[in-house]
């Protein structure tokens, strides 16, 4: 029995008992876990499982809901159930891939050529054609698939799990059946979970059922269902589904292939990844070229036959032409170049989830970026405090720790020494879902800053003293959060000033609640403008026993400085014609102040609310650079409005509700650190460190990859056309064949092989980021490219024919050696100039692409062996050439490079490659 089947059986066994366990449970009481109390103690609207059934719940999988599993138990279970992942080791082996290549029409064609060679008793050719062509394509295809497979492993899912009484942040693969998992908004369910605690939980199961409306989950008992309908099992959260709302705790009942998702995963593996537009157009180009080549080959064979040449001879020519002219490497190089480029992007901290995005990156002309965390550091520190009775305090110290002081008129505030201040600190601390551990925030940085503030006045212990009985969680849509706690029965609220003040009827004046009046409101507005214009994020605080009649307590100002390097990145992008738009939930003053720090052109601003359909705001989007008080639903409208104006939009996002906008954007960018799983799922690209500069690096890389593919196409097309024309002309002019089949094969290896491949890894031109974005509709085959291809092919053909001609009329091995070497050298110089369509060789540096240097050196060494090494001489029918011959050939063949360089110079002079950056999306 293999390990795999053994495990399946074990899993099956465990499934049976887990199934009976899952279907017989009613509701039990929520165990208290050693996790941030505020997170899990809420009782209101929490459905929990009753004590009796909880015991049953726990006894089957022998787990402890309160403490979770012990490390020892985890190890034991892992040995039994394996890791919570999918076994992808059952990969298609190389030999099967090798065989699958035979379905490719081009490979079939080459094989047909080989068969013809066998018929003609040219066994050498037959073997070479088969082995070289098939092995080369197969290995390349395998390599590309390997690299693509790696992409899938770049974003390992994570989860929160309780083990030995502690809340741990783990990789989802480490889960075992019986583990207690905590779920919250935006997370991906890491394994099949039987829920035993759920607060307003609603889960998006579209990955399993295709149903896009999120379904409500509860802990309620379910009668044993026989139809296996996933949607009806509402007390189970399935692996791979996404938490859209609420939070929950559950116990793992199925991991890896033993989960419901395991089935879907197997189906997904069977699906082939869709090809990118570039891959598709290269496939088409390859097919078209093959068709043209065949027509030409047909005509040549017919002409030759009419000229009275033997049919067998014409077959030989046909085979050689088929081998030389069919660019079978074209689609493969595109895939390999894309995949390698994507791996390079990972090093620059950008994870590309969908290959077509690599192409889109170079077309992106508008970037809509979040402010907090992307343009700024997301390292929040409270620096100012303003109490509702008009006192102004300064806060010192930075970071998530208690180092620093709150100073009121030079006096240090500690504990409850100033009621007005400590009330604000208390609300900030209690109405808070985050904790600070080892100077790091687990939760939201804004809330981390409030806990650090509490630590500075010695009130951080308050967080543990209160048990929540009701909560209104924070969302970017609402922009406020409130909790009610059992101790005092009062509400504590914090949030954006405009939101909080709506719930207030009084303000705190040295301990007593006075009715709010116009004067006070004016005073607070002034303070907000003052703090905001200093770039501070402003939060308002209130408390009271009734939600509409709260007492306003005051404001805090939180600093979050711009990331270093962002200013330069924004400047570079703007100068290249990319427009930057900042979208933030913060107030106008804060947004503008940070906007100005980042770039002076970020001037024109609008309230997110104004961006609604039918309102002129939507049409204005192209000219606005800062959207303040914006919420996720505005993002979608902004994207749509920009797209309607012809923009290719990259949009960043982190929250659950950003997912729609990310999907709608041409490039959806999710935050790797602060982003929710929902948002990462919807995105095309993930910024590992949330840094705006990474978007710039990705655009740079995207443009570079596209250019490299263009260079490769230019090289391959010119060689293909040259080889085809050379042999066609020789036939039509009734010359003997200038190259024999083995020589043509060798040229083909160079054309599709290492030198050509190495063009795909050409380092990105540092100036490329300054080039304007490409037009989406632009084809890779531009007029300028066609001119270069035809000119190079023309020079190669003329030069080779000249060498062939210049020798005497009788065809000797020396003549073919000279012609053959001439073509190979032409190819090398052609590859050298194809390294860039715009830069001269000396600008790029001769050795800047080391892979290319090695590939060319290896090809030259190979060519010399073919000329001077006796056993190869007999295979290739060559003979030794003199040094003078070589010098002559090098001088002649370098002309192709020289002419290309002249064309580049002329183009640069005429400004062909330059189009002025569009100013349309900038402010007017
Ligand atoms: P950005 O787009 O700059 O990244 P954002 O859109 O994520 O920011 P939010 O986090 O939604 O902005 O914050 C919007 C406003 O909501 C803030 O200005 C602040 O007043 C308030 N706010 C932020 N965080 C909290 C929180 N944890 N609790 C209550 N109110 C908050």
Residue 675 pLDDT: 84
CB atoms under 10 Å from CB of 254, counted, come to: 26
Residue-wise pLDDT tens digits, 280-324 = 777 777 777 778 877 877 887 788 788 777 776 676 667 666 766
Question: What pLDDT, on a 0 to 100 scale, did the predictor assign at position 10?
Answer: 30
**Ligand 1, pocket-test mutation among 558, 586, 590, 607, most atoms within 8 A of CB:** 586
Q: Is 494 in the pocket of ligand 1 (CB under 6 A)?
A: yes
Contact between residue 623 and residue 335 where contact means Cβ atoms under 8 Å apart: no
Q: Is 584 in the pocket of ligand 1 (CB under 6 A)?
A: yes
Question: Can you list the alpha helix ranges (DSSP code H) found in 229-307?
Answer: 260-270, 277-306
- The answer on pLDDT for 912 being more than 70 is no
**CB atoms inside a 10 Å sphere around CB 839:** 17
Condensed to tens digits (0 to 9), the pLDDT of residues 404-440 reads 899 998 889 888 888 899 999 999 999 998 888 888 8
pLDDT band at 741 (very low <50, low <70, confident <90, very high): low
Residue 679 has a pLDDT of 84
Measured by CA distance, the residue closest to atom 11 of ligand 1 is 476
- Say if ligand 1 is within 6 A of residue 476 CB: yes
For residue 200, the SS3 value is: strand
Q: Does residue 496 line the site of ligand 1, with CB under 6 A?
A: yes
Average pLDDT of 49-67?
Answer: 53
Q: Is 444 in the pocket of ligand 1 (CB under 6 A)?
A: yes
Report the range of poorest mean pLDDT among 145-149, 265-269, 610-614, 670-674: 145-149
Nearest C-alpha neighbor of 825 from the set 904, 732, 722, 712: 722
Residue 918 has pLDDT above 50, yes or no: no
Q: Which residues pair with 407 in a beta bridge?
A: 394, 412
Q: Is 537 in the pocket of ligand 1 (CB under 6 A)?
A: yes
Rounded to whole angstroms, the Cα distance separating 134 from 621 reads 53
pLDDT confidence bin for 37, thresholds 50/70/90: very low
Count, residues in the chain: 924
State the closest ligand 1 atom to the C-alpha of 433, by its place in the atom list counted from 1: 27
Mean pLDDT of the chain: 78
Distances (CA, A) of 91 to 94, 97, 142, 201, 345: 9, 10, 11, 37, 26
Question: What is the pLDDT at residue 431?
Answer: 92
Is residue 610 within 8 Å of 617, Cβ to Cβ? yes
Consecutive H or E run containing 700: helix 692-732
- Residue 73's pLDDT band, with cuts at 50, 70 and 90, is confident
Give the confidence band of 185 by pLDDT, cuts at 50, 70, 90.
Answer: confident
Tell me, in angstroms, the distance from the centre of ligand 1 to residue 479's CA. 6
Secondary structure (H, E, C), 484-527: EECCCCCEEEEECHHHHHHCEEEEEECCEEEECCHHHHHHHHHH
- Judged against a pLDDT cut of 70, whether residue 736 lies above it is answered with yes
Q: What confidence score (pLDDT) does residue 673 get?
A: 83
Q: Angle CA(369)–CA(370)–CA(376) in degrees, nearest 5?
A: 105
What tens digit of pLDDT does each residue of 821-846 get? Answer: 999 999 899 999 888 888 888 888 87
DSSP H helices in 608-691: 616-620, 632-644, 659-664, 677-682
CB 447 near ligand 1, within 6 Å = yes
Residue 544 or 761, more confident: 544
> What percent of the chain clears pLDDT 90, i.e. is strictly above it?
18
pLDDT of residue 359: 81
Q: Is 392 helix (H, G, I), strand (E, B) or coil?
A: strand
Q: What is the pLDDT of residues 447-499, one digit of tens each?
A: 999 999 999 999 888 877 888 888 888 888 889 999 998 777 789 999 999 99
Q: Which residue has the higher pLDDT, 690 or 307?
A: 690
* Cβ of 479 below 6 Å from ligand 1: yes
pLDDT over 60 at 921, yes or no: no
If DSSP codes are grouped into helix, strand and coil, which group holds residue 555?
Answer: strand
pLDDT in tens, 321-345: 676 666 666 776 777 788 778 888 8
CA of 699 relative to ligand 1 center, distance in Å: 28
How many angstroms separate the CA atoms of 505 and 524, rounded? Answer: 14
User: Does any ligand 1 atom lie closer than 6 A to the CB of residue 676?
Assistant: no
Q: Which atom of ligand 1 is nearest to the CA of 373?
A: 4
Report pLDDT for 88: 54
Q: Distance, CA 446 to ligand 1 centroid (Å)?
A: 8
Task: For ligand 1, pick from 449, 471, 477, 496 the residue to mutate: most ligand atoms within 8 Å of CB.
Answer: 496
Per mean pLDDT, which of 158-167, 380-389, 898-907 is the most reliable?
Answer: 380-389
More confident residue, 773 or 335: 773
Q: Is the pLDDT of residue 505 over 90?
A: yes
Calpha distance 158→189 (Å, rounded) = 9
The pLDDT-based confidence of 523 (bands split at 50, 70, 90) is very high
- Give mean pLDDT, residues 676-691: 86
Q: Of the residues 431, 539, 583, 656, which should be mutated to test ligand 1's pocket, given the most ligand atoms within 8 Å of the CB? A: 539
How many Å lie between the centroid of ligand 1 and the Cα of residue 586? 6
Sign of CA dihedral 392, 396, 400, 403: negative
pLDDT score of 54: 43
Q: Kind of pairing, strands 192-204 and 242-254?
A: antiparallel
pLDDT at residue 93, rounded to an integer: 58
Say if residue 173's pLDDT is above 80: yes
For the entire predicted model, the pTM comes to 0.75
Cβ(207) – ligand 1 distance below 6 Å:
no
CA–CA gap between residue 583 and residue 631 (Å, rounded): 9
With a cut of 60, say whether residue 754 has pLDDT above it.
Answer: yes
Residue 224 above 70 pLDDT? Answer: no
What would the mean pLDDT of 2-13 be, rounded to a whole number? 33
Task: Compute the distance between CA of residue 338 and CA of residue 734 in angstroms, rounded to an integer.
Answer: 44
Residues 596 and 340: their CA atoms lie apart, in Å, by 38
Q: At 718, list the tokens.
A: 């010119």
Among 62-66, 205-209, 517-521, the least confident range = 62-66
Q: Which of 556-570, 606-620, 672-686 has the highest mean pLDDT?
A: 556-570
State the chain's maximal CA–CA distance in angstroms. 114
In terms of average pLDDT, the best of 70-79, 485-494, 517-526, 610-619 is 517-526
- Which ligand 1 atom sits nearest the alpha carbon of residue 370? 2
Q: Which pLDDT value is given to residue 368?
A: 93
User: How wide is the angle at C-alpha 181 spanned by C-alphas 180 and 182, nearest 5°?
Assistant: 125
Q: Is the pLDDT of residue 15 over 70?
A: no
pLDDT at 58 over 50: no
Which of 442, 444, 446 has most ligand 1 atoms within 8 Å of its beta carbon, as the pocket-test mutant? 446
Residues classed as catalytic: 370
What pLDDT, on the 0 to 100 scale, is given for residue 187? Answer: 85
Is the pLDDT at 791 greater than 90, yes or no? Answer: yes
Q: pLDDT at residue 49 above 80?
A: no
State the distance from the centre of ligand 1 to the C-alpha of 607, rounded, in angstroms.
15
- Crossing angle of helices 692-732/813-833, nearest 10°? 160
Considering only residues 718 and 313, tell me which one the structure prediction assigns the higher pLDDT: 718
Per-residue pLDDT for 541 more than 80? yes
Closest CA to 637 of 664, 659, 655: 664
679 lines ligand 1 (CB under 6 A): no
Neighbours of 922 (CB within 10 A): 17
């Amino acid at each position: 029995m293999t390990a795999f089947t053994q495990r399946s059986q074990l899993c099956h066994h465990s499934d049976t008992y887990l199934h009976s366990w899952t279907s017989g449970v009613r509701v039990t009481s929520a165990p208290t876990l050693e996790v941030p109390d505020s997170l899990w103690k809420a009782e209101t609207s929490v459905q929990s499982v009753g004590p009796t059934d909880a015991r049953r719940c726990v006894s089957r999988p022998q787990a402890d809901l309160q403490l979770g599993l012990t490390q020892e138990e985890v190890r034991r279970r892992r040995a039994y159930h394996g890791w919570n992942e999918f076994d992808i080791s059952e990969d298609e082996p190389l030999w099967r891939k090798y065989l699958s290549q035979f379905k490719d029409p081009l490979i079939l064609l080459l094989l047909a050529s080989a068969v013809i060679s066998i018929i003609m008793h040219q066994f050498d050719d037959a073997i070479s054609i088969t082995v070289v062509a098939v092995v080369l394509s197969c290995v390349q295809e395998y390599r590309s698939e390997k690299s693509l497979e790696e992409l899938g492993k770049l974003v390992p899912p994570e989860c929160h799990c309780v083990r030995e009484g502690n809340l741990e942040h783990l990789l989802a693969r480490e889960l075992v059946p019986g583990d207690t998992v905590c779920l919250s908004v935006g997370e991906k369910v890491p394994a099949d979970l039987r829920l035993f605690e759920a607060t307003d939980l609603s889960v998006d199961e579209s990955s399993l059922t295709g149903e896009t409306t999120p379904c409500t989950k509860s802990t309620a008992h379910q009668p044993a269902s026989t139809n296996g309908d996933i949607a009806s099992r509402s007390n189970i959260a399935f692996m791979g589904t996404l938490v859209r709302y609420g939070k929950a705790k559950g116990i793992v009942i199925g991991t890896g292939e033993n989960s419901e998702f395991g089935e879907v995963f197997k189906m997904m593996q069977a699906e082939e990844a869709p090809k990118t537009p570039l891959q598709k157009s290269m496939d088409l180009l390859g097919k078209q070229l093959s068709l043209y080549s065949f027509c030409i080959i047909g005509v040549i064979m017919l002409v030759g036959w009419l000229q009275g040449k033997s049919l067998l001879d014409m077959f030989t020519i046909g085979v050689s032409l088929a081998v030389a002219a069919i660019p079978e490497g074209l689609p493969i190089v595109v895939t390999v170049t894309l995949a390698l480029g994507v791996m390079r992007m990972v090093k620059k901290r950008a994870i590309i989830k969908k290959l077509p995005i690599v192409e889109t990156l170079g077309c992106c002309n508008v970037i809509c970026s979040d402010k907090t965390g992307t343009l700024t550091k997301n390292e929040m520190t409270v620096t100012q405090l303003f109490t509702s009775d008009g006192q102004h305090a300064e806060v010192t110290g930075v970071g998530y720790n208690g180092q620093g002081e709150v100073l009121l008129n030079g006096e240090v505030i500690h504990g409850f020494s100033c009621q007005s201040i400590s009330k604000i600190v208390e609300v900030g601390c209690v109405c808070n879902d985050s904790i600070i551990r080892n100077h790091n925030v687990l939760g939201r940085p804004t809330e981390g800053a409030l806990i650090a503030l509490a630590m500075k006045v010695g009130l951080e212990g308050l967080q543990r003293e209160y048990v929540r009985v009701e909560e209104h969680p924070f969302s970017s849509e609402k922009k406020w959060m409130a909790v009610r706690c059992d101790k005092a029965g009062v509400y504590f609220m914090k949030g954006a000033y405009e939101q909080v003040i709506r719930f207030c009827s009084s303000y705190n004046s040295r301990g007593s609640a006075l009715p709010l009046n116009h004067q006070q409101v004016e005073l607070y507005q002034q303070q907000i403008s003052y703090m905001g214009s200093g770039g501070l994020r402003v939060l308002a605080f209130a408390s009271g026993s009734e939600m509409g009649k709260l007492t306003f307590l005051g404001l805090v100002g939180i600093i979050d400085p711009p990331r270093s390097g962002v200013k330069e990145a924004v400047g570079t992008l703007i100068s290249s014609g990319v427009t930057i738009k900042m979208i933030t939930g913060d107030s106008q003053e804060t947004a503008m102040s940070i906007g100005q720090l980042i770039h002076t052109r970020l001037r024109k601003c609008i309230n997110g609310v104004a961006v609604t359909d039918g309102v002129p705001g939507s049409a204005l989007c192209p000219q606005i650079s800062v959207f303040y008080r914006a919420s996720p639903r505005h993002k979608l409208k902004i994207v749509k409005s920009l797209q309607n104006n012809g923009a290719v939009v990259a949009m960043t996002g982190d929250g659950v509700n950003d997912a729609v906008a990310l999907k709608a954007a041409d490039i959806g960018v999710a935050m790797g650190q602060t982003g929710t799983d929902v948002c990462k799922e919807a995105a095309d690209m993930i910024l590992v460190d949330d840094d705006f500069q990474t978007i710039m690096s990705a655009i740079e890389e995207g443009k570079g990859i596209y250019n490299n593919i263009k260079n490769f196409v230019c090289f391959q097309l010119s060689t293909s056309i040259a080889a085809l024309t050379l042999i066609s002309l020789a036939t039509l002019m009734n010359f003997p064949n200038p190259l024999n089949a083995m020589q043509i094969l060798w040229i083909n290896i160079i054309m599709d092989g290492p030198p050509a491949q190495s063009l795909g890894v050409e380092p990105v031109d540092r100036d490329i980021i300054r080039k304007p974005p490409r037009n989406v509709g632009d084809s890779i085959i531009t007029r300028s490219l066609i001119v270069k291809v035809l000119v190079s092919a023309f020079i190669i053909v003329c030069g080779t024919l000249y060498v062939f001609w210049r020798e005497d009329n009788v065809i000797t091995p020396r003549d073919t050696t000279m012609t053959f070497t001439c073509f190979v050298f032409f190819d090398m110089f052609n590859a050298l100039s194809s390294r860039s369509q715009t830069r001269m060789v000396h600008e790029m540096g001769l050795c800047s692409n080391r892979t290319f240097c090695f590939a060319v050196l290896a090809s030259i060494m190979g060519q010399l062996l073919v000329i001077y090494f006796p056993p190869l001489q007999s295979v290739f029918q060559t003979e030794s050439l003199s040094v003078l011959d070589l010098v002559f050939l090098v001088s002649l063949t370098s002309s192709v490079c020289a002419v290309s360089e002249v064309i580049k110079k002329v183009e640069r002079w005429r400004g062909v490659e330059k189009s002025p950056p569009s100013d349309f999306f900038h402010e007017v």
